């Protein structure tokens, strides 16, 4: 047991590859707990950021700046009455939220948070991810059907149509990124493994976003639009359009099972952002690994995570000093101060050499994913919802041809040296 524990700390493989069951289990638990915690705080962050976009303040009363709001929300949801409609199909009604949540969480088995920080490295990683994440739509359809009600059924039908149409464009965009992995000099074939894709970007010395300049960017753009539609977020949130369908497929759900839907939705958001980061933004790699190479730059960039957390702690403490001096706010000010200290302490731990070498990959991955989550909220604050026919038009008549064209042109450009020699031989 203890040998397994220490063995992994020196290993450069993922626990799944090394056959280290202990660490694989630890990783699964840590990822499950960590993602759940992230979801809870993304929920807070979304309410806060959305409020600021709409020149409001958002939650302010529960804890300093509403920091304890997620805990209050979770308690409220767990204590709420959990109703099942009288005419609902009870078994299916029970299973549906679990399908959504499970599909969202199983995806994390292959998400590479770092070269060693993934549960396992499947050789069909990206295929597995796309396959499992699209199982989530099954849960949505069963939820809509089992509720035995009009609006949920309409919402889930919209959702299935939307997911099927956007999956095509999304898949083609992904394929063009996978195609780029096969253009690594000295390597005979491409790879579907999530870690392999990032390694390919490392050896090619360029993020696939900037590969064959406009092509990678266009494929990424197609994916970035399709992934919003895949996760049912605004402006493509037709399955749960409040103004049209009450709440769409989860109209009849309440309490714990409703919170499972929310958990699944936000976990899927993080997972899909993880795919985008892995395929186009260099996964766990720090910025400019080739341009600013060398041990000096390595050290500087490995100090960034700790410095980032120290900066966050300093901002929090500055906020503490600026809290209104009111006797009713004394406990909140104290709490915010302790929170800032805790963040700063995390930053100090991240500055320890042994820790920062092992953990900085996770930091770079998460900071990229966080940028995507912010974009999700930003889009939601900016764009109005598409009409259903507009949604279908964008999916089939715009994104699909673009992604097909990008795929073909990527292949031609990638094979251009071989094509040129073949042409010379023919002529």
Partner 1 sequence: MRVATLLRKIFLLDLLKGLSLTFRYQDPKEIYTEQYPLQRPQVAERYRGLPRLNVNPETGKTLCIACDLCAKACPENLIVVESERDPVTKRKVLTKYTFDISRCMFCGLCEESCSTDALELTQDYEIAQYGREGLVLDRERLERGPEGKVYER
Beta carbons of 300 and 327 less than 8 angstroms apart: no
Interacting positions 301-340 with partner 1 (CB under 8 A) = 324, 326, 328-329
Beta carbons of 284 and 116 less than 8 angstroms apart: no
Closer residue to partner 1 in complex, CB, 314/329: 329
Q: Which stretch binds partner 1 (CB under 8 A): 17-25, 45-53, 178-186, 202-210?
A: 45-53
Establish how many alpha carbons lie within 13 A of residue 218's alpha carbon, considering only the half-sphere containing its beta carbon. 19
Beta carbons of 303 and 347 less than 8 angstroms apart: no
60 near partner 1 (CB under 8 A) = yes
Interacting positions 357-386 with partner 1 (CB under 8 A) = 378-379, 381-383
54 near partner 1 (CB under 8 A) = yes
Closer residue to partner 1 in complex, CB, 258/376: 376
Contact track, partner 1, 380-419, x by CB under 8 A: -xxx------------------------------------
Contact track, partner 1, 191-210, x by CB under 8 A: --------------------
Closer residue to partner 1 in complex, CB, 57/371: 57
Q: Min. distance of Cβ 319 from partner 1 in angstroms? A: 11
Q: For residue 205, what is the DSSP state?
A: T
Contacts of 391 (CB under 8 A, 6+ apart): 162, 229, 236, 238
User: What is the rounded radius of gyration, in angstroms, for the C-alpha atoms of the chain?
Assistant: 23
Own/partner long-range contacts of 40-49 (Cβ < 8 Å, ≥24 apart):
40/70, 40/71, 40/74, 41/70, 42/266, 42/269, 42/270, 42/373, 43/70, 43/73, 43/262, 43/266, 44/69, 44/70, 45/373, 45/377, 46/377, 46/380, 49/374, 49/377, 49/378, 49/381
Q: Min. distance of Cβ 331 from partner 1 in angstroms? A: 10
Q: Which stretch binds partner 1 (CB under 8 A): 26-34, 54-62, 111-119, 364-372?
A: 54-62
Q: Min. distance of Cβ 75 from partner 1 in angstroms? A: 19
Nearest to 43 by CA among 258, 227, 310: 258
- Distance, in Å, from the CA atom of 263 to the CA atom of 385, rounded to the nearest integer, reads 22
Closer residue to partner 1 in complex, CB, 59/97: 59
Closer residue to partner 1 in complex, CB, 256/378: 378
Binding residues for partner 1, rule CB under 8 A, total 17
CB atoms within 10 A of CB 123: 12
Q: Min. distance of Cβ 221 from partner 1 in angstroms? A: 8
Among 9, 21, 37, 57, binds partner 1 (CB under 8 A): 57
Closer residue to partner 1 in complex, CB, 297/396: 396
Cis peptide before 235 (omega within 30 of 0): yes
- Provide the binding-site residues for partner 1, judged by CB under 8 A: 49, 52-57, 60, 324, 326, 328-329, 378-379, 381-383
């Amino acid at each position: 047991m203890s040998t397994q524990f220490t063995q992994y700390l020196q290993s450069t493989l993922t626990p799944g590859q090394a056959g280290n069951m202990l660490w694989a289990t630890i990783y699964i638990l840590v990822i499950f707990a960590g993602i759940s915690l992230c979801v809870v705080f993304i929920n807070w962050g979304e309410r806060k950021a959305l409020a600021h976009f709409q020149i409001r303040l958002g939650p302010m009363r529960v804890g300093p700046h509403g920091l304890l709001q997620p805990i209050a929300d979770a308690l409220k949801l767990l204590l709420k009455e959990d109703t099942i409609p009288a005419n609902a199909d009870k078994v299916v009604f029970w299973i549906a939220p679990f399908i959504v949540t499970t599909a969202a969480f199983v995806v994390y088995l292959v998400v590479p948070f770092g070269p060693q920080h993934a549960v396992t490295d499947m050789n069909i990683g990206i295929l597995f991810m796309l396959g499992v994440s699209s199982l989530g739509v099954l849960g949505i359809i069963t939820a809509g059907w089992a509720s035995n009600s009009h609006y949920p059924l309409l919402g889930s039908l919209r959702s299935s149509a939307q997911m099927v149409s956007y999956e095509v464009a999304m898949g083609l965009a992904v394929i063009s990124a996978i195609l780029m992995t096969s253009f690594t000099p000295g390597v005979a074939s491409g790879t579907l493994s999530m870690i392999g894709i990032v390694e390919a970007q490392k050896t090619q010395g360029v993020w696939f976003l900037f590969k064959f300049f406009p092509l990678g960017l266009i494929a990424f753009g197609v994916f970035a639009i399709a992934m919003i539609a895949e996760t049912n977020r605004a402006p493509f949130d037709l399955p749960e359009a409040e103004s049209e369908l009450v709440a769409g497929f989860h109209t009849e759900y309440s309490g714990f099972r409703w919170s499972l839907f929310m958990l699944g939705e936000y976990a899927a958001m993080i997972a899909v952002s993880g795919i985008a980061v892995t395929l186009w933004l260099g996964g766990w790699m720090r910025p400019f690994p080739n341009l600013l190479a060398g041990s000096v730059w390595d050290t500087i960039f490995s100090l960034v995570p700790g410095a980032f957390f120290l900066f966050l702690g300093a901002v929090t403490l500055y906020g503490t000093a600026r809290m209104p001096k009111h006797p009713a706010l004394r406990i909140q000010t104290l709490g915010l101060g302790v929170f800032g200290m805790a963040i700063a302490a995390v930053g100090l731990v991240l500055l320890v050499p042994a820790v920062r070498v092992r953990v900085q990959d996770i930091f770079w991955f998460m900071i990229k994913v966080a940028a995507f989550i912010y974009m999700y909220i930003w889009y939601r604050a900016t764009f109005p919802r598409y009409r259903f026919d507009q949604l279908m038009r964008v999916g089939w008549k715009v994104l699909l041809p673009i992604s097909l064209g990008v795929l073909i042109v990527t292949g031609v450009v990638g094979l251009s040296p071989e094509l040129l020699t073949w042409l010379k031989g023919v002529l």
